[in-house]
Structure 1
Amino acid sequence: MNICMKTKYSRTIIESVEKKFIKDEIPFLEVGDSIQIGVLIKEGNKERVQTSEGVIISRNNHNLNTTITIRKVLQNIGVERVYLIHSPRIINIKIIKKAKVRKAKLYYLRSRSGKATRLKQKFN
């Protein structure tokens, strides 16, 4: 068995195992969407859902390891957080509004503040 056949065989095994853990109820998320995400937080022996809002500035697609980076501004300080979409800790994702964007990554929002960070809304 050559190396190419081994990698194809191992890739199919990995994909079959990952299929069990991929969530189906996730909405279609795009860069520029304003979303509200609920994350399960454990404090001591209690669990609660903590929601956070923000704009998706980047998205990395890797099947089960798909991540999104969310940016929000709190007290004039920009906060970014990376979420693993298919994590069991993610309870719900709700799209608040969509925006027209022309780039795959919105890293330019980091250097701007105030009205300069507004994105043009997309209507369906």
Structure 2
Amino acid sequence: MNAQEIIRSIEAEQMKSNLPIIHVGDTVKVGVKIQEGNKERVQPYEGVVIAKHNGSINATITVRRIFQGVGVERVFLLHSPRIDNIKVIRRGKVRRAKLYYLRDRVGKATRVKQRFDREL
């Protein structure tokens, strides 16, 4: 068994299987585990996915939200143990892979059209 096979097997153990299908433009609510002293709580973080990087165990999403009038972006490692849950609140209809242009927009201009998927 060579080194690459060992690395792949360890990564396969760590990967989460219950992740929803996330697209760029979706509004998601991410539950992040926060350690405060000896207590642990789940802090929600809700925003629009503006970028997605696929890389098996290193897959990330960049979530942008407006907090007190200031744009805040966080990059979440999807398979991290710190991520408690990810819930897709609404689907976004976009035509680009990266929505970095939303950084320059303010107010209603930052809205993303909703995509309605047909149930099969």
TM-score, normalisation: structure 2: 0.93
CA distance in 1, matches of 2:10, 2:67: 39
Find the counterpart in structure 1 of residue 58 from structure 2: 65
Match of 1:35 in 2: 28
Q: Secondary structure at the match of 1:120?
A: coil
Q: Which residue of 1 aligns with 2:40?
A: 47
Distance, in Å, in 2 between the alignment partners of 1:11 and 1:107 is: 35
Aligned-pair identity (%): 56
Whether 1:80 aligns to 2:73 is: yes
The residue aligned with 2:96 is 103
Q: What are the superposed Cα offsets for residues 42-88 of structure 1, whole Å, 9 maximum, x if unpaired?
A: 00111001001000000111110111100000111000000111011
Q: What SS does the aligned partner of 1:18 have?
A: helix
Structure 2 equivalent of residue 13 of structure 1: 6
Mark the runs of 5 or more structure 2 residues left unpaired by the alignment.
none
Q: Larger Rg: 1 or 2?
A: 1
- The one-letter amino acid of 2:65's match is K
RMSD: 0.9
TM-score calculated relative to the size of structure 1: 0.90
Match for 2:12: what amino acid?
K
Q: Which runs of 5+ in 1 are unaligned?
A: 1-8
Which SS does the other structure have where 1:25 is aligned? coil
* Offset of residue 11 of structure 1: 2.9
Distance of 2:3 and 2:28 partners within structure 1: 36
Alignment correspondent of 1:89: 82
3-state SS of paired residue (2:3): helix
Amino acid across the alignment from 2:11:
E
Structure 2 distance, partners of 1:46, 1:57, is 32
